[in-house]
Amino acid sequence: MFKFVPFIPALSEYILLSHMSCILCRFQDYRFTLFVINNRIKFHIYILLLF
């Protein structure tokens, strides 16, 4: 199942979000979570600019 996750945006978003909420429970990973979210936003903007 996990092989196909990258090709199913909704499912991968859901898994990512549940993983993020899991990380957010642990304050030592809070900065890392913000870093990952920030990079994802930049990545999405970059993809939008390509099209």
Q: Using one digit for the tens of pLDDT, what is the confidence trace for 12-28?
A: 677 677 766 665 566 55
By residue range, what is the domain housing residue 30?
2-50
Residue 45: both structure tokens together: 């903007």
Rounded CA-CA distance 22/36 in Å is: 14
What is the structure's pLDDT at 13?
A: 73
Q: Using one digit for the tens of pLDDT, what is the confidence trace for 31-43?
A: 677 777 788 777 7
pTM: 0.30
| Number of residues that this document lists for the chain | 51
The count of structural domains within the chain is: 1
Helical H segments across the chain, by residue range: 9-24, 30-50
Rounded CA-CA distance 31/39 in Å is: 12
Angle between helices 9-24 and 30-50 (to 10 degrees): 160
